[in-house]
Amino acid sequence: MSTQASRSAARVMLSPAVISLLIWMIVPLVLTLWFSFQRYNLLYPDRAGFVGFYNYTTFVASPDFIQAIINTLLLVAGVLLITVIGGILLALLIDQPIWGQGYVRILVIAPFFIMPPVAALVWKNMFMNPTNGLFAEAFKALGLTPFDFLGDAPLISIIIIVAWQWLPFATLILLTALQSLSSEEIEAAEMDGAPAHKRFWFIILPHLSRAITVVILIQTIFLLGVLVEILVTTNGGPGTASTTLTFLVYKQSILNSDVGKAAAGGVVAVILANIVAVFLMRAIGKNLDA
């Protein structure tokens, strides 16, 4: 159906997008790889040169690295656990016949539109602050000693903040998937006498499985890159208690000006992200055929 002329026109129209994305992907990645084998500190520009795998060995061997990897996995797993389970329950609840469903949706989705620094600072100052945050007030009202959330449980506090930001996303997507489930199917099961928990496990959950996969994969991509929430609340601390891989690379490059080591960390981050990306692409690609 398409003519030769429209084909070449199509190619011309595609090229700006393809070329710009190609440059955006290739140039920095090649440079990152290159820097990762160089001794390159912005503070000592004269001491430069090829150092082989030195940056990798020192980056990976440092105790900060192990801690950062563990923290990254805990952050991603913790937020996923809260948002997926919470999202399923919340979507099921909102999908019930209720008054003012539209308004409930609006309230639930709101945190997703809050820019990360605002979300993090509101939680840090007005909720988790041990002297006059709302949580401290609640503890005091119950006769307990206020708990220093960001000081004594920094990673868990950050997980709570990030989960609050992403719960709406999971809920909204699962709700959309839920609403595409035909009511006949549920009614038929109901008629056959299937109790609520069986309807959930054998009809609703299988129907949601694709949406759950997509939620998990997309969130993982974004969660691996969480930086600002850590930057404005704990700055990676105390010590390295809330330092993730992303934050560690940020610290090496922007704060320590150690380009070589930061680049090595960047390559590690690429590998980590790619493992997730492969699965995500497969899940989305499947849908493209349908």
Partner 1 sequence: MARAVTTRRKTLTTLAAWGIALLIFFPILWMILTSFKTEQDAVLSPPVWFWFDWTTENYVTVMDRANYFRFFMNSVIIAIGSTALGLLIAIPAAWSMAFVPGAKTKDLLMWMLSTKMMPGVAVLVPIYLIFIKLKLLDTHFGLIIVIMLINLPIIIWMLYTYFKEIPGEILEAARMDGATLRSEILYVLLPMAIPGIASTVLLNIILAWNEAFWTITLTTVDAAPLTKFISSFSSPQGLFYAKLSAASTMAIAPILIMGWFSQKQLVRGLTFGAVK
- Interaction residues for partner 1, span 87-106 (CB under 8 A): 90, 93-101, 103-106
* Contact flag: residue 72 with partner 1 (CB under 8 A): no
d(CA 23, CA 17): 10
Angle between helices 259-289 and 205-224 (to 10 degrees): 160
Query: Shortest Cβ distance from residue 152 to partner 1 (Å)?
Result: 19
* Contact flag: residue 223 with partner 1 (CB under 8 A): no
- Interaction residues for partner 1, span 127-156 (CB under 8 A): 127, 132, 134, 137, 140-141
* Contact flag: residue 189 with partner 1 (CB under 8 A): no
Report which residue type is found at 174. L
- Cα angle 286, 287, 290; round to 5: 100
Residue with tokens 């997980």: 159
- Interaction residues for partner 1, span 11-50 (CB under 8 A): 11, 13-14, 16-18, 20-21, 24-25, 27-29, 31-32, 35
Q: Are strands 44-50 and 38-41 parallel, antiparallel or unpaired?
A: antiparallel
Are 260 and 253 a contacting pair, CB within 8 Å? no
Site string for partner 1, 246-275 (x = CB under 8 A): x--xx--xx----x--xx-xxx-xx-xxx-
Q: Among the candidate windows 43-51, 54-62, 75-83, 276-284, which touches partner 1 by CB under 8 A? A: 276-284
* Contact flag: residue 54 with partner 1 (CB under 8 A): no
Nearer to partner 1, 50 or 290 (CB): 290
Q: How far is CA 21 from the centre of its chain?
A: 22
Are 91 and 109 a contacting pair, CB within 8 Å? no
d(CA 188, CA 186): 5
* Contact flag: residue 207 with partner 1 (CB under 8 A): no
d(CA 244, CA 158): 11
Q: Among the candidate windows 48-56, 62-70, 73-81, 213-221, which touches partner 1 by CB under 8 A? A: 213-221
* Contact flag: residue 178 with partner 1 (CB under 8 A): yes
Query: Shortest Cβ distance from residue 264 to partner 1 (Å)?
Result: 10
